[in-house]
């Protein structure tokens, strides 16, 4: 508890918890819609906005936000119109965005910025103003998701059924990608690109196996992200480690532990099924999680 006496650690914990909530909600939507690669493309393409902002001396957040929204809308259009080529085109936009940002920084006269700081972030130096921005972003995303929850749920799991029911699938999808772009821009400057991707994929992936609803998956992913963040911050303080890397390593260990648990559970289930078939008492089982329901 002695780490809480430092203001920078208080801000870091607050930033980590806010990031966990935001990434728990958006990450769940990313995982169930199978757009993890697209989210990575948006995050890396944001570097183009960073370079553009430094070259023209614009506010970094505004420049990055505009560039990321444009890139995300382009990627959304590609995934809807040319799904069979989406991964290739997203990869091209991903690479071009990063290259463009680096070149614009190189061309900026008399100023050099360390783009690596945006890659790994610096959660221990988060100011209060950024915390307020993140809190506002968290409230905005939570409220928007709550208002359009049924429509998002329908589009995420059965697009054709949603169209039949009159849900504006295209608008909902573009809105989802726009929220994803805003999330990346807001959080990447605080905790870095690598941590955003880690917290947006690992906790939702783990919770997908156990949650019985999308809302439950979001809540569970947010809680897991908070646990990973606090554990990582404690390890970084205790052993003098880089905070972002420590958080990601804790999340990675949680991911590996979930895979191991899933393998052990699957092995036990198969043994019970074989025993039931041998005894003549084998019965089918109903799906108990989101992943089971999808596979069924």
What is the per-residue pLDDT across 181-213, written as a single tens digit (0 to 9) for each?
988 888 887 778 888 889 999 999 999 988 999
Q: Give the pLDDT of residue 151.
A: 93
Q: Give the pLDDT of residue 290.
A: 65
Q: Give the pLDDT of residue 284.
A: 54
What is the per-residue pLDDT across 276-289, written as a single tens digit (0 to 9) for each?
766 665 555 555 56
CA distance 15 to 225: 12
Please state the length of the chain: 296
Mean pLDDT of 4-28: 91
What is the per-residue pLDDT across 103-161, written as a single tens digit (0 to 9) for each?
998 888 876 666 666 766 778 888 888 888 889 989 999 999 999 999 999 999 888 88
Tokens 């295209």 sit on residue:
170
Q: Give the pLDDT of residue 25.
A: 95
What is the dotted CATH code of the domain comprising 2-277+288-295?
1.10.3470.10
Q: Give the pLDDT of residue 110.
A: 74
Q: How sure is the predictor about 295, in pLDDT bands with cuts at 50, 70 and 90?
A: low
In the predicted structure, residue 75 carries a pLDDT above the cut 70: yes
What is the per-residue pLDDT across 207-224, written as a single tens digit (0 to 9) for each?
998 899 999 999 999 999
């Amino acid at each position: 508890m002695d780490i809480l006496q430092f203001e920078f650690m208080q801000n870091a914990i607050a930033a980590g918890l806010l990031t966990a909530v935001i990434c728990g909600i958006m990450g769940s939507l990313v995982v169930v819609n199978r757009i993890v690669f697209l989210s990575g493309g948006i995050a890396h393409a944001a570097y183009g906005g960073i370079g553009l902002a430094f070259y023209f001396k614009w506010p970094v957040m505004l420049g990055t936000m505009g560039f990321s929204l444009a890139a995300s809308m382009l990627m959304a259009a590609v995934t809807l119109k040319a799904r069979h080529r989406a991964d290739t085109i997203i990869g091209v936009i991903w690479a071009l965005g990063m290259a463009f940002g680096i070149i614009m920084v190189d061309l900026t006269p008399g100023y050099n910025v360390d783009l690596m700081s945006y890659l790994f972030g610096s959660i221990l130096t988060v100011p209060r103003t950024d915390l307020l921005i993140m809190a506002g972003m968290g409230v905005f995303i939570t409220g928007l998701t709550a208002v359009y929850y049924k429509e998002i749920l329908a589009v995420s799991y059965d697009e054709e059924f949603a169209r039949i029911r009159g849900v504006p699938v295209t608008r909902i999808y573009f809105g989802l990608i726009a929220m994803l772009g805003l999330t990346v821009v807001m959080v990447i400057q605080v905790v870095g690109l690598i941590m955003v991707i880690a917290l947006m994929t690992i906790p939702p992936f783990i919770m997908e196996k156990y949650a019985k609803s999308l809302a439950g998956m979001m809540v569970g992913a947010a809680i897991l992200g908070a646990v990973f963040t606090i554990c990582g911050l404690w390890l970084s303080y205790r052993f003098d480690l880089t905070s972002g890397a420590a958080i990601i390593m804790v999340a990675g260990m949680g991911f590996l532990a979930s895979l191991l648990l899933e393998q052990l559970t699957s092995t036990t289930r198969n043994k019970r099924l074989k025993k039931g078939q041998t005894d003549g008492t084998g019965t089918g089982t109903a799906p108990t999680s989101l992943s089971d329901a999808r596979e069924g």
